[in-house]
Amino acid sequence: MAEPVNNRPKIERQQRRGFSGDVAALAGFVGTSGAARLPALCEPRLPGVNLASWGAARREEIEATLLRHGAILFRGFDVKGVADFDACVQAMSGGAVHYKFRASPRTQVDDRFNVYTSTDYPANERIFPHNEHSYSPVFPLQLYFYCEVPAATGGETPLGDTRALLRRIRPDVRERFVSRGIMYVRNYGDGMGLPWQTVFQTDDRAEVERYCREVGITPEWKPGDRLRTRVVGPAVVKHPQTREDVWFNHATFFHALTLPESARDRLLAEFSEQDLPQNTFYGDGSPIEPDVIRYLQDIYRDVMTEFPWQAGDVVLLDNMLVLHARNSFTGQRRVLTAMARPQKSAELERPAS
């Protein structure tokens, strides 16, 4: 039975103070029985429910739902601004982590919180599907988005299931990547892409070398205070909780063929494939065949689904189980992001080749 209208303000006040009574009655998952949907939808049953308070009390249920569906959309909760969003990340995932070994331009929106703008690319550009930081030896296991201002048109954040993606990849292509791995080559300070000072969040070359040594990256200093890094990572790993094989890498996203055609032609006219701001190869350094990259691009696009953002929406992703992208848009879109639960790639089990 619905709560009488004249009792709702009391419940709202209790919730804002961290009310710990019948928390389950305040919100719930919608339509998540049976086949998994992406994303699972969670909505409050009363107005004014504080997501951080509810999420802290229902953390076990949220974790189970996240592993089953890969993504959760929290819609209709009382989330107003950066501080509320950061509180949600703290309540449900133990807090946001600092964005290091960067690949995308982002802006930290408040010095008090590890909350950033989503990738600062021009509104007329799409961002290809990817798993956050899957090129890195350390990546966030969980990823959050918060819609402060939805776009006038477009601007969706499409989502895709990496388990479905892996099932679609031909066995010969999969085994080629599993056995050989992926080499990520990045160049900084050549007038394109991010400078190494931004990527590593330091001006100290010794600090860059220390970080690289700790996580297994090979740095190479070039003339003119420029830097190249190489790191070899897996294509497929086992999820640490579900134990499922997951296609988790940046082989397609970082490859030169995934750049917009005009930008790719301009860069290749100036740089060799080893000198591009970022590029991928098989783990032994040999080139990945163009037809393989185009084949993978098509599969990535085919597994994506999308929903329109609403102001106040919060999305929680299992970053290994779900891809994300961005559509082009018009208007003043402002979607923020936070990363949680750092995971070392070297600690993940890999399927036998």
In a domain, 186, yes or no: no
CA distance 192 to 264: 12
- Give the per-residue pLDDT at 10: 31
In a domain, 81, yes or no: yes
Burial class (CB in 10 A: 0-12, 13-18, 19+), 244: middle
Q: Which domain holds residue 75?
A: 5-164+300-341
In a domain, 264, yes or no: no
pLDDT at 249 over 70: yes
- Give the per-residue pLDDT at 146: 97
Total domains present in the chain? 1
**Residue of 231 and 102 predicted with greater confidence:** 231
- Give the per-residue pLDDT at 21: 55
Tens-digit pLDDT profile for residues 278-304 = 999 999 999 999 999 999 999 999 999
- Give the per-residue pLDDT at 353: 62
Q: Is the pTM of this model over 0.85?
A: yes
In a domain, 352, yes or no: no
Tens-digit pLDDT profile for residues 99-134 = 766 556 678 878 888 999 887 788 998 999 999 999
- Give the per-residue pLDDT at 106: 73
Helices and strands in the chain: count of H runs, count of E runs: 10, 19
pLDDT at 24 over 60: yes
> What tokens does 116 get?
């950033």
- Give the per-residue pLDDT at 75: 97
CA distance 20 to 70: 27
Write the CA distances from 205 to 118, 185, 285, integer angstroms: 27, 18, 25
In a domain, 63, yes or no: yes
Average pLDDT over residues 47-51: 94
In a domain, 86, yes or no: yes
Average pLDDT, the chain: 88
Computed on alpha carbons and rounded to an integer, the radius of gyration of the chain in Å comes to 21
User: What's the CATH code of the domain at 147?
Assistant: 3.60.130.10
